[in-house]
């Protein structure tokens, strides 16, 4: 087998592993967040779906578990990364921050609750990814 073919295969495997690591971390954040949201809505901790969350305590609770889940997703991405685990975690954090910015922009005038909450999601995305990435480093 030629050296170039082996290099191409290794390169393709590296990118595939990187993509899988990022998708797994992202899926962990999304699934855990949706499950927690559902549990809190079903148990009456949060208002019924479709109603604005206006209580500061509700928003703080949602922010706190989203921060933990963001760190955990970044941990997963770092653990599964073929190399440079912290970079993978921070890429996932950047994706989370970008999606949070999109959420701020699209919901700003929809009267869904406090404006500080979606802004806090933006602000905490990268720090939590960094923490998850540090915890997820191998070795």
Q: Given pLDDT bands bounded at 50, 70 and 90, which one contains residue 139?
A: low
**CA 132, 90, 67 angle in degrees (round to 5)?**
45
Distance set, CA 86 to CA 24, 30, 58, 97, 138 (Å)? 15, 20, 31, 16, 10
Closest to 52 in 3D by CA, of 120, 97, 118: 118
Judge whether residue 41 has pLDDT over 90.
yes
Range in 7-11, 12-16, 36-40, 99-103 the model is least confident about: 7-11
Tokens of 48: 């019924």
What confidence score (pLDDT) does residue 5 get?
59
**pLDDT of res. 113:** 83
What pLDDT shows up at residue 3? 55
Nearest to 25 by CA among 123, 103, 136: 136
pTM above 0.95, yes or no: no
| CA dist., res. 82 & res. 65, Å (int) | 28
Q: Residue 63: pLDDT band by 50, 70, 90 thresholds?
A: very high
Instruction: Supply the pLDDT for residue 18.
Output: 97
**Pairwise pLDDT comparison (122 vs 12), residue with the higher score:** 122
For 72-129, write each residue's pLDDT tens digit. Answer: 999 999 999 999 999 999 999 999 999 999 999 999 999 888 899 999 999 999 999 9
Q: Average pLDDT of the chain?
A: 93
Question: CB under 8 Å to 94, separation ≥6 — which residues?
Answer: 125, 126, 129
41-to-36, 38, 45, 87 alpha-carbon distances in Å: 9, 5, 6, 35
Among the ranges given (50-59, 69-78, 125-134), the one the predictor scored with the smallest mean pLDDT: 50-59
- What residues have CB less than 8 Å from 42, skipping those under 6 apart? none
């Amino acid at each position: 087998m030629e050296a170039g073919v082996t290099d191409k295969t290794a390169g393709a495997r590296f990118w595939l592993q990187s993509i899988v690591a990022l998708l797994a971390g992202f899926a962990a954040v999304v699934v855990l967040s949706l499950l927690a949201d559902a549990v809190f809505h079903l148990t009456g901790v949060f208002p019924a779906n479709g109603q604005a969350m206006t209580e500061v305590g509700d928003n703080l609770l949602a922010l706190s578990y989203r921060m933990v889940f963001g760190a955990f997703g970044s941990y997963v991405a770092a653990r599964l990364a073929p190399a440079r685990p912290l970079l993978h975690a921070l890429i996932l954090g950047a994706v989370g921050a970008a999606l949070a910015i999109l959420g701020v922009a699209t919901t700003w005038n929809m009267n869904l609750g406090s404006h500080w909450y979606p802004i806090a999601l933006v602000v905490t995305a990268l720090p939590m990814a960094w923490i998850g990435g540090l915890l997820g480093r191998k070795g």
